[in-house]
Amino acid sequence: MMKIFIGLLLLFDYTIAFLPSLRHHQVKATSTMSIVRKFSSFDALIYSYHRGIDTSSSRAVLSSMSADENNIEGGDEWRKILVLGSTGFLGSEIVHQLSTRNIPFVGTSTSGRDGTIQLDLTSTTAQKDIQSIVTTEKCTAVISTVGSINTSNDLIVNSASGKVAARGARDGGARTFVFIGNDLRVRQIGTKVIPFLNNYMEGKEQSERIVRECFGRSDNDDKYSYCIIRPTFIYGGNDFGLNPPRITSSLGSAVEELLGNYAVQSISDELPDLLSLALDPPVSVQAVAAASINAALGLLSKEQVELDSRTSILDAVAVSSLLEREERRRKRRNEEEDGDAGNQEEEEERK
């Protein structure tokens, strides 16, 4: 009860401070990479205490990545990524970020437009087609953004990422598979409250199970890895949508700003799933894309295999920034050591 009371006080304080700025300020829908969000000192204090970088919004985390921090190699080798559904809402953002970060990739779409490889995951040859693409293009990782909602093929399409894509990718030699699932609370509540989502939820669940089977690590073999990302709601772009549901970047960032603060979340943690889900802040398409890429590059830890919350997704985004900072420190130390060694050699030659 004390936690709820403190949360209500904080929420009141945030509301008084936030509403006037929301009424008089319009958020420009530009690239998340170029925006540094002005966040409250309380949010910064909470997160800096735990992680040293602010994740109170998708924009704050993404803006912490400088241009030099984008070009990061994962593991012992450079990876080439296959993006399934690369012309869709999330897929196109992934492709955009891969291009920005100079990471080699191949994209597929059902239509084959925009220079992508034509691929229909519901076709009888899809598994062999993916195997061939992975082998021919030498892809080491696959990101599947394929999905459908409220159609007659929801079960087939949403289960295809596992039944077809994961199996084909494994047979083709891929080592990592990244799948975009949905929040477990959405799955549990949706099947009870919204019956037409049953096939959508079941398809996602089937894919997750097969992805684990094909790419899960074992005690004797850690060559394979997977990451399942489960956002509650993804926002982005300039258009509203009903099927699938979507809100714009400007509105989504404002909602994330409000719901993402500590005051709201302290209350949300004490509520039942349905109410807690309603107060769960959305996450930007840029953040989900960045987390997917970092997972495909092998930048995440062995514990970051299933990202079940917005915070875990933003943590996956921030990891590349933290790794790059450490890499820069290592290079500086090496340069200083090399410089000291060179100076010593010059002194010895003079003597």
In the prediction, which pLDDT does 7 show? 44
* 298: region left, alpha or beta (phi > 0 left; psi from -120 to 50 alpha): left
Per-run averaged pLDDT (10 residues), the chain, 351 residues: 41 38 34 31 36 52 50 54 96 96 95 95 97 97 94 94 97 97 76 76 94 85 90 86 75 80 71 69 92 94 90 88 60 70 65 57
Distances (CA, A) of 58 to 134, 207, 230, 260, 340: 31, 27, 15, 10, 42
In the prediction, which pLDDT does 319 show? 82
How far, in whole angstroms, is CA 14 from its chain's centroid? 28
Burial of residue 29 (CB within 10 Å: 0-12, 13-18, 19+) is middle
DSSP string, 23-84: HH-------GGG------HHHHHHHHHHTSS--SSHHHHHHTS-GGGS----TTS---EEEE
Of 69, 70, 57, 64, nearest to 27 (Cα)? 57
